[in-house]
Amino acid sequence: MEVQVDGKTIELSEAGWLLDLSEWNTAVAEAIARDVEKVELTQEHWDIINTTRAYFDEFGTVPEQRVFIKVMKEKYGPERATQQYFYRLFPYGLVKSANKIGGLPRPKGCS
């Protein structure tokens, strides 16, 4: 699988995960969101994506959903820290979609 970004071919796994994490940028994120996850990114999506990337930068791992809910609650309040909120924005699941669009490694057990 691949996406085209600014005339460049970006290689993805069969499931749409970025193969070379160093190729990630916002244009790549937009392409993965549009072409793979079928999501139109809004500022709310970017808040989640940027928060997952910050967590990864700080801890070297992608956050589990229950941990991420706590992080979001502290940063944005309880109304933006529920599974229903996440699924409204990422219908295929927070861990799968947000991390995939954010150019992070595929978590264990995630297709």
| Structural contact between residues 40 and 32, judged by C-beta atoms closer than 8 angstroms | no
Would residue 82 count as lying in a domain?
yes
Q: Which residues are catalytic?
A: 110
Number of domains in the chain: 1
User: Could you tell me if residue 47 is inside a domain?
Assistant: yes
Give the CA dihedral 5, 9, 11, 12, nearest 10 degrees.
40
Residues 6+ apart with CB under 8 A from 99: 52, 62, 105, 106, 107, 110
In a domain, 7, yes or no: no
pLDDT tens sequence across 2-49: 999 999 999 999 999 999 999 999 999 999 999 999 999 999 999 999
Report the C-alpha gap between 99 and 64 in whole angstroms. Answer: 11
Query: The CATH number of the domain where 89 resides is what?
Result: 1.10.10.370
Looking at the domain assignment, is residue 52 inside a domain?
yes
* Domain interval for residue 59: 43-99
Q: Is residue 71 part of a domain?
A: yes
Indicate the pTM of the whole model.
0.89
User: What would the two tokens of residue 44 be?
Assistant: 């709310």
Residue 108 lies in a domain: no
* Residue 2: predicted pLDDT: 94
Whether 111 has a pLDDT exceeding 80, the answer reads no
